[in-house]
Amino acid sequence: MNLKNTTIRVRLSVTFGVLSAILALVSGMAIMNLYKDKEMFTNYVNGTYALQVQAYEVRHATEERAIMLRDMINSTDKKDKTEELNRFEEEDGKVSERTQTLLDMVNEFGMDPQGRDLLDKMIADEKHYTAVTREVLALDQQGRHEEAIAKMMDAEYAASDAYIMSFRASRDHGTETGNQLIQEFNSNFERQSNIILVFALLALTLAIASGVMIIRNLTRALGAEPAQLKEVAERVASGDLSPSCETHPVPDGSVLSTLKAMQMNLADIVGTVRNNSDSIVTGTMQITSGNADLSQRTESQASSLQQTAASMEQLSATVKSSAEIAAKANMMAAEASETARHGGEKVDLVIHAMQDISHSSRTITDIIGVIDSIAFQTNILALNAAVEAARAGEHGRGFAVVSGEVRTLAQRSAQAAGEIKNLINTSVEQVDAGSKLVAEAGESMQVIVTQTQGVSQMIDELTLAANEQSQGISQVGIAVQQIDEVTQQNAALVVENAAAAESLHQQAGQLMQVMTQFRLGTGTA
């Protein structure tokens, strides 16, 4: 594993992990040795040493019993003999009890074969010694005092010497075993101490090497002391992006070099943002001014469109009224044409029934009066049509000419009717002349019917044109209203754009104020 590519956390974890493992190993070895030493010490105290102490207790009881035996044999007082005998029995009981305790301890804690053989021999010699002592005691109690003394001086001392020799052999073996345990304990202590010392030195060396390596890597990774890094970070946080003068080279890839690069890049970004903020402020001012002008022009256009819409509504109403009047004139012209047609038919009847003219002169006079009235009405209608044509302007020019012709014809019809009436009144007797005049009147009536039909057709065309004009003007009015609505919406959008531009201008100003908090140095724009 390449330590150069690992993180500081991994390096520290590996270092302290190894040190912890060494510490755990040393601690485990120390604890194991302590338990082993404890076991060895326990075996020595409860085994070798305790057995020797107990063996000394047996020997002490044996010696006390021998003393009691000699005192009893040497005593001449019966009472003293009895006391010494009791004490002898008491010490003999102690010998038996302590010997049994010694055997129990050997069975409990164990003993090496040689030591067990020596111990068994010592116990056997002690039993033999006890038996000889009992024999000496029996001789003394039987009154055989001299024999008892002789046996005590011979056999009892020999048994005592044998017991002492076996005791010393067992004691020496126990002492040698204890010395071996102590020597083994000391050797183990020295060996474990050396091992612990080696591991401790290894851990210390590793800790020093790891510390030096970590310090060097941290210094190289940071590039400077933490206080200097903190100072650079605080300068950037306070808005000071001006470059600082470094007296020592900064390692590549270190935290300090990264902070320096960040500071330079941030200074470039802030400089660019500051320059762009100036452009944004200027642009928003121009947008605000343009929106204000556009708002004024849009409001003026909306007002003009409202006036145009009102004028179109008035014109539409006027054209609609003209169309209605033209329709009425068309109806009246149709009625006049029908009347003229009936008049022509009557004139035809007059021509075929000329013999009845004299009898029907009054009727003819009335008919002529009707014709005069129709001509008068036609004259009035033509006059009204001329007025409406004048109102219609350019579109009513042709209709005005026709109205003038109709008026002329109406006047001529009225004049002819008057002449016919005068002729009829003055020349009733002149039937032939009247017939001729009636024939002429019939022809005139045919002309009137034809012209009246032409006038009716022209009035129809005028009515159709007026209706088309009314529909076109209505459509124009609707279009003007839609344009007015769109213009009103545009005016509202212009107001919103002006408000947005003003808000953008304020935000750009705030951005400029924020940018002024950054200090970029003397060489940065």
- Condensed to tens digits (0 to 9), the pLDDT of residues 491-513 reads 777 778 778 777 877 787 777 77
Q: What is the pLDDT of residue 492?
A: 79
Residue 214 sits in the same domain as residue 291: no
The reported pLDDT for the residue numbered 518 is 64
400, 432 Cβ separation under 8 angstroms: no
Same domain, 181 and 317: no
pLDDT at 147 over 70: yes
State the total domains in the chain: 2
217 and 294 assigned to the same domain: no
The residue-averaged pLDDT of 294-313 equals 74
Helix (H, G, I), strand (E, B) or coil at 240: strand
Rg (CA), the chain: 78
Of 23, 22, 17, the closest CA to residue 9 belongs to 17
Q: Are residues 198 and 334 in the same domain?
A: no
Asked whether the predicted pLDDT for residue 68 surpasses 80, the reply is: no
User: Considering 191, 207, 222, which residue would you say is the last residue of a domain?
Assistant: 222
Instruction: Kindly state the average pLDDT of the residues 187-205.
Output: 84
Q: Is residue 251 a part of any domain in this protein?
A: no
pLDDT in tens, 94-118: 887 888 877 777 777 667 777 778 7
| Nearest-angstrom CA–CA distance, 113 and 123 | 15
Does 263 map to a domain? no
CA angle 276-282-284, nearest 5°?
100
In a domain, 283, yes or no: yes
Give residue 42's pLDDT. 62
The answer to the question of residue 140 being in a domain is yes
> Which residues neighbour 280 within 8 Å (Cβ) at sequence distance 6 or greater?
504, 508, 511
pTM recorded for the entire structure:
0.35
Is residue 183 domain-shared with residue 315, that is, in the same domain? no
pLDDT of residue 525: 46
In contact, 118 and 169? CB cutoff 8 Å: yes
Average pLDDT (278-292) is: 75
- Quick one: which of 147, 152, 145, 158 has its CA closest to 75? 145
d(CA 207, CA 14): 11
- Provide CB contacts within 8 A for 95, sequence distance 6+: 58, 61, 62, 65, 126, 130
User: If you average pLDDT over every residue of the chain, what do you get?
Assistant: 74
| Model confidence at 14: pLDDT above 50 | yes
Same domain, 187 and 333: no
Q: Average pLDDT of 20-35? A: 76
Judge if 307 and 204 occupy the same domain.
no
Angle of the 157-222 helix axis to the 8-43 helix axis, nearest 10: 170
Domain hosting 390: range is: 272-515
pLDDT digits (tens, 9 = 90+) for 240-275: 767 665 556 666 766 767 867 776 777 778 778 777
Integer Cα distance of 271 and 260 in angstroms: 16
176 or 223: whose pLDDT is higher?
176
The whole-angstrom distance between residue 137's C-alpha and the CA centroid of its chain comes to 110
Q: Domain check: are 293 and 195 in the same one?
A: no
Query: Among residues 187, 203, 222, which one ends one of the domains?
Result: 222
Give percent above pLDDT 70 in the chain: 74
462 and 401 belong to one structural domain: yes
202 and 285, same domain (yes or no)? no
Judgement on whether residues 138 and 286 belong to the same structural domain of the protein: no
d(CA 418, CA 441): 12
pLDDT, one tens digit per residue, over 383-428 is 787 777 777 777 767 767 777 777 787 778 778 777 777 777 776 6
Higher per-residue confidence, 253 vs 25: 25
Contacts of 129 (CB under 8 A, 6+ apart): 62, 156, 159, 160, 162, 163
> Residue 242: inside a domain, yes or no?
no
**262 within domain boundaries:** no
Q: What is the CATH number of the domain that holds 424?
A: 1.10.287.950
Pick the last residue of a domain from 222, 243, 262: 222
SS3 250: coil
Residue carrying structure tokens 């102590």 = 182
Please check whether residues 45 and 170 belong to one and the same domain: yes
490-499: Cβ within 8 A, 24+ apart: 490/298, 491/295, 491/298, 491/299, 491/302, 494/291, 494/294, 494/295, 494/298, 495/295, 497/287, 497/291, 498/288, 498/291, 498/292, 498/295
- Tokens 């590549």 appear where? 252
Does residue 466 fall inside a structural domain? yes
431 lies in some domain: yes
pLDDT at 262: 75
